[in-house]
Structure 1
Amino acid sequence: MQSYELFIIFAKNKWVMYVYNLTVVISDEVFTQWQEWLQNVYLPTINTNKAIERVRVFKVLNVPEKHYAIHHETTSPAQLLHFIEHTIPKLLQQSAETFGEKVLFWGTQLKEVKSEE
């Protein structure tokens, strides 16, 4: 396990957001099933996990394939790390068992550095 230096930062009377961006590439042949899995399995699992305060799903527009970005947002870097280490691997394993290589994921950890709000 990597060592992480974690900080909670308070800026402009607002907690800074930490985001786990999970990019997904979905094959056309399983796209409908993946949407059902996202709605019926993935999102309910995330919503029962109190570490994540907000989940947003975006369609990536500048690529021809079906790419999506799922943002998992929290104000706690420790909770985000716990989520990445414990919840995400189970969901990715379940996806691999269900869809094989027809659905591919990669994740990126982000920290908000400026907000216009």
Structure 2
Amino acid sequence: MAYDIKLVKLINGDNILGKWDEEGHKLTDVAVLQTVPTQQGVQMMLLPFGYPFETEITGEIDARHIMYVFEKFPEELKTKYMEATSNLTLSTPGDLHNLQNLGGQGGMGSFSDLLKK
């Protein structure tokens, strides 16, 4: 199932990521995006909207509380959100470019070669 992940700014100023429910006109499985200053600049953190009282990314926010919808935001942010909500690690096309060396210097060879070892 494909989700339409949206990054929005709420009327209270919070930046929220969630799965857009067109039928219900709301965001579900909402997470708040917080910026944390570091020595290297700024780091972004995704937290459950109800943190610290809720540790799971759940909940709903009605569209009437949305002030702004970001048209563009980093794809990496969508990937991190999906990882946080699904407990899976997702790969991107760039992650797969070194698979030819997976079996060592000469590669894996054939399946029958693998069984002979």
TM-score clears 0.5: no
For normalisation by structure 2, the TM-score amounts to 0.27
The structure with the largest alpha-carbon Rg is: 2
The structure that is helix-richer by fraction is: 1
For normalisation by structure 1, the TM-score amounts to 0.27
